[in-house]
């Protein structure tokens, strides 16, 4: 082995802090993630400069990649300083495996990573749409981790559903599994830590919520939405989701703008009668203070549709939420969910 090979190998195996591993694990699950989102989730108790240094060092080691996401105004023109977006590289994924940070039960295999030989920046359309999806998931994570009831969480974007022969049946925008322990009154995990579910073991007493995030950018044909709903109905009925995540998935469909929601709701209910799906719009999915957890959603199961919260009555009401999370020791978030609120959304919207 020559000197260059030995040195590069040693550099790759430099010690990793818990915080660095937390960044890699987050990126593998969410894909493309804005720097501000990483700071809010993993570095909320650190100075902003410390988080920038951590990300810079991971990028220099080629464990993560970095690009700039365009800041697009309503006229479709770029404006202001372009924020940085990050993702996991193949080397970063291998680093997680070297440290045994992720089990080979499907968790490691589904992590999203790019080759360090890939172009420096992904396509613009992918950047703006995928960072919206990752911000939605991050907003939910940021809120649910505040309750001591949270026993564990699984999140994976671009979730591929295959049959026993390996044929692709569906690619879900993001799968989210939340496990709550009603008896757990306090927790000793750091405020920045996210308790990932990795061993697949769920206690019988836990309350489990399984969500499937789908974002309609406004350019999807109604026929495609009809077929999406039919696919969810079919895979729910034949037990596919039961085998993958232990139970039925509840689709959460986000559509811009709000005026499109009625048409999407009608098509979805026509394709899947009695569907457990929830529907919201970019303008309504995010509560001003408490993120997507307490946004406005419509339950498509009944006719007429009814307003509901994302997790129903499981966590009480939005008015009760501040008291329920009063013991959380994290600082107030700087809120990286501007893209989720829709006020500055970069998600492409059809005219």
**Whole-number pLDDT of residue 3:** 38
**Whole-number pLDDT of residue 113:** 95
Q: Collect the ranges in the chain with pLDDT lower than 70.
A: 1-14, 69-81, 119-121, 199-200, 331-351
Gyration radius from the chain CA atoms: 20
Beta 250-255 vs 207-215: how paired, if at all? parallel
**pLDDT (tens digit, 9 = 90+) per residue, 299-348?**
999 878 899 999 999 999 999 999 999 999 876 544 444 445 444 444 44
d(CA 331, CA 336): 14
Helix/strand/coil for 214: strand
d(CA 291, CA 282): 12
Is 172:213 a contact under the CB 8 Å cutoff?
A: yes
**Whole-number pLDDT of residue 182:** 93
Instruction: Give the ranges where the chain is alpha helix by DSSP (H).
Output: 3-12, 18-30, 35-42, 48-60, 90-98, 107-110, 124-144, 222-237, 240-245, 261-271, 321-324, 338-341
Smallest CA-to-CA distance from 23 within 11, 13, 35 is with 35
Sheet holding 84-88, edge to edge: 33-34, 84-88, 64-68
Query: Which residue has 């009809």 as its token pair?
Result: 226
**Whole-number pLDDT of residue 344:** 41
Domain ranges of the chain: 3-341
pTM equals 0.88
Structure tokens at 319: 């008015």
For the chain, give the number of residues. Answer: 351
d(CA 175, CA 197): 13
Q: Give Cα 56 to chain centroid, integer Å.
A: 23
**pLDDT (tens digit, 9 = 90+) per residue, 139-148?**
999 999 999 9
End-to-end Cα distance, the chain: 59
Structure tokens at 313: 């009555």
């Amino acid at each position: 082995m020559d000197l260059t090979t030995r040195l590069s190998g040693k550099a790759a195996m430099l010690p990793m802090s818990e915080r660095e591993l937390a960044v890699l694990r987050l990126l593998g699950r969410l894909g493309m993630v804005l720097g501000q989102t990483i700071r809010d989730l993993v570095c909320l108790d650190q100075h902003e400069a410390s988080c920038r240094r951590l990300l810079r060092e991971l990028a220099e080691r080629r464990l993560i990649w970095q690009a700039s996401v365009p800041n697009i105004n309503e006229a479709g023109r770029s404006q202001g300083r372009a924020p940085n977006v990050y993702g996991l590289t193949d080397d970063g994924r291998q680093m997680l495996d070297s440290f045994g940070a992720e089990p080979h039960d499907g968790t490691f295999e589904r992590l999203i990573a790019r080759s360090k030989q890939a172009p420096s920046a992904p396509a613009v359309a992918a950047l703006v749409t995928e960072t919206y999806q990752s911000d939605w998931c991050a907003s939910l994570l940021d809120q649910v981790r505040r309750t001591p009831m949270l026993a564990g969480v699984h999140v994976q974007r671009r979730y591929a559903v295959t049959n026993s022969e390996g044929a692709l049946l569906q690619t879900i925008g993001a799968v989210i599994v939340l496990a709550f322990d009603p008896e757990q009154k306090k927790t000793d995990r750091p405020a920045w830590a996210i308790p990932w579910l990795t061993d697949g073991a769920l206690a019988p007493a836990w309350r489990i919520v399984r969500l499937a995030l789908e974002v309609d950018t406004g350019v999807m044909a109604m026929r495609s939405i009809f077929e999406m709903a039919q696919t969810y109905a079919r895979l729910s009925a034949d037990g596919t989701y039961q085998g993958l995540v232990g139970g039925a998935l509840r689709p959460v469909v986000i559509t811009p703008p709000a005026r499109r929601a009625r048409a999407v709701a009608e098509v979805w209910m026509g394709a899947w009668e009695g569907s457990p799906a929830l529907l919201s719009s970019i303008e309504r999915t995010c509560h001003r203070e408490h993120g997507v957890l307490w946004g406005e959603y419509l339950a498509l199961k009944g006719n007429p549709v009814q307003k509901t919260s994302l997790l129903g009555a499981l966590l009480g009401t939005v008015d009760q939420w501040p008291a329920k999370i009063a013991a959380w020791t994290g600082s107030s978030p700087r809120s990286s969910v501007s893209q989720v609120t829709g006020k500055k959304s970069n998600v492409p919207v059809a005219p």
